[in-house]
Amino acid sequence: MSQLDAFRYDGKRVLVVGGATGMGAAAAELAREAGAEVVVMDFAEIKMPGVRAIRVNLAERESIDAAIDECGGTVHAVFSCAGVADGTPGIERINFVGHRHLIDRLLAKKMLGRGAAICFISSAAGLGWEANLPLLQELLDISDFDAAARWFQDAGKADYFHTKQAMCAYVSRQAFPLLKQGIRINAICPGPTDTPLAQANKDMWLGFGSDYRAEVGIEPFTPKEQAYPLLFLCSDAAAAISGITLLSDAGYLSSGITGSYPNATMIANFLLGRNPA
């Protein structure tokens, strides 16, 4: 047995929500190659060989409940990868409320046990959530699916920015109560990544930070380059890590915060909710 076995998934059952395309599909493929039994849930058609495919609509509570019942059994890692852009009906349910309900159902049915881990795909849009924590706590205190969805609508927050802030706040808040059950929870905040969703919003999503990438000589990330940190955070190798949102953007925002790349400073301050120095 090698010490590197902690990075593998042999004997584990993995659930990838939103695994038909993009980063979710890359995570499912990597998990399978790392030895996992993989279940993929998505609204889109799942064409990946070697996985169990289950259709789910995260905008509908009944669909989520049925998908969890169909999945059954023990789940050792959950990758919550599904997401949609502004303008999509039900964005508040698809990007956050549905994911949270799915995890709540897994916990209620005791499908997640000690040693399990959860990892979300958030966004740089979700950073700076601390400045909005009192408002987000109000949302997170609402456990009911429909009531939480109404909160987003009534508060005028049913958008990409606020659903990702809710996700980051949820990850931080749940670190303690979940770890008492032996379960870790984290998220990644990817830099621009070449996925079908990003291509559909190319000017904004893939244009973000293009000046920085030109300076350092890199391209937008591939889905697999973001799947690697996802897999790590749910592996036994990350046993000491919980409650974080890992910024996987090749140093763009850090360079803006410190001023080593001044063109990113204003954007970094805005996204992180910080006043300019």
Q: What is the pLDDT along the chain (277 residues), one digit of tens a residue?
A: 788 999 999 999 999 999 999 999 999 999 999 999 999 999 999 999 999 999 999 999 999 999 999 999 999 999 999 999 999 999 999 999 999 999 999 999 999 999 999 999 999 889 999 999 999 999 999 999 999 999 999 999 999 999 999 999 999 999 999 999 999 999 999 998 988 777 887 877 788 889 999 999 999 999 999 999 999 999 999 999 999 999 999 999 999 999 999 999 999 998 888 865 4
CA distance 9 to 259: 40
Cβ-contact 135, 128 below 8 angstroms: no
Domain positions in the chain are 3-194+221-250
Q: Which residues pair with 77 in a beta bridge?
A: 14, 117
pLDDT (0 to 100) of residue 276:
55
What kind and span of H or E run contains 268? helix 265-271
Residue 110: left (phi > 0), alpha (psi -120 to 50), or beta?
A: left
Give the global pTM.
Answer: 0.95
pLDDT (0 to 100) of residue 36:
98
pLDDT (0 to 100) of residue 275:
67
Residue 193 exposure: Cα atoms within 13 Å on the Cβ side = 26
End-to-end CA distance of the chain: 51
Cβ-contact 43, 218 below 8 angstroms: no
For the range 176-182, what are the long-range contacts, defined as Cβ-Cβ under 8 Å and sequence gap of 24 or more? 176/243, 178/118, 178/242, 179/242, 181/107, 181/112, 181/113, 181/114, 182/113, 182/114, 182/115, 182/116
CATH number of 3-194+221-250: 3.40.50.720
How many degrees, rounded to 5, is the angle at CA 137 between CA 136 and CA 141?
Answer: 120
For the range 227-231, what are the long-range contacts, defined as Cβ-Cβ under 8 Å and sequence gap of 24 or more? 227/23, 227/26, 227/27, 227/29, 227/30, 228/30, 229/188, 230/23, 230/27, 230/79, 230/81, 230/119, 230/121, 230/188, 231/7, 231/9, 231/27, 231/30, 231/31, 231/34
